Amino acid sequence: MKFARVVFWIAGAFGALALVPLYRQPGEPMYYGFLATLAAWQVAFFLIGWNPKRFRLLMIPAILEKALWMVTLLAFFLKGRTTLSELAVNAATHGLLGVLFIVAFIRTPSAE
């Protein structure tokens, strides 16, 4: 369980820090709504890290969040709407975290 704690605490901290400059950029109300959703996910990551066994099932949507972002970014790349470097940076962060989330899910016993 220590592995899951470390992975999800790192994910929460990384995400929270990444949100700060995004909130400082101008945008439409919908943009800030998406940022609020991202902020809520950082709280979920901290909760999972706090008690991985209890919140093990919450790891499934966390994995899905990372996987869907990578699929979306790949689709943008294939349409020429993002660069290879942006894809690589996101794969090195979000993609890696998604893989680590899967490992954490497998390694964490259920709360039965």
* 20 is a domain residue: yes
Q: Looking at the 3D structure of the chain, how many domains does it have?
A: 1
Q: What pLDDT digit, counting tens, does each position of 72-95 carry? A: 999 999 999 999 999 999 999 999
Tell me, yes or no, whether 93 lies in a domain.
Answer: yes
Across the chain, mean pLDDT equals: 96
Residue 46: inside a domain: yes
Task: Provide the pLDDT for residue 59.
Answer: 98
112: in domain: no
- Parts of the chain with a pLDDT under 70: none
> Which pLDDT score is estimated for 21?
95
In this structure, is residue 9 part of a structural domain?
yes
The sign one gets for the Cα dihedral 98, 19, 10, 56 is negative
- pTM for the complete prediction? 0.92
Position 40 in a domain: yes
Residues of the domain holding 52: 2-107
Buried-state track 7-39, b at ≥16 Cβ within 10 A, e below 16: bbeebbeebbeebeeeeeeeeeeeeeeeeeebe
> Is residue 65, in this structure, part of any structural domain at all?
yes
